Amino acid sequence: RDLVTHEVIAGRFEDGYLRIPIEFCEKGYSIPANEAAERLGVSRMRITQLCNEGKLRSAMIGSSLFVSNEDVLQYAKSDRTPGRKEGK
């Protein structure tokens, strides 16, 4: 199975701050993975799995994983009960 790679966004430190391109915000990668995990009531590892499965869009800045707020909200509304779904 092919894993989806996280988009890598280059930032740079300047005057003690990490500066990132505006495209980062425009693409909606606004939630750190640990915050997404808290919002969904899952582990940080599960967030990484969801990103690798293509269920959450993600981007890396350095070693930090960020996910799409829109995708987190959409995933929270989806049927997340364990087990196979009928018709699949």
pLDDT in tens, 24-37: 666 666 789 999 99
Helix residue ranges per DSSP H, 1-88? 23-26, 33-40, 44-52, 69-77
pLDDT at 3: 47
Look-up of token digits 């997340």: 80
**10-residue mean pLDDT series, the chain (88 residues):** 57 74 66 94 94 88 84 89 65
pLDDT at 35: 95
Q: Give me 43's structure tokens.
A: 């582990």
Query: With a threshold of 0.85, does the pTM exceed it?
Result: no
Q: Give me 54's structure tokens.
A: 């293509």
pLDDT at 80: 73
The C-alpha atoms of residue 39 and residue 32 are separated, in whole angstroms, by: 11
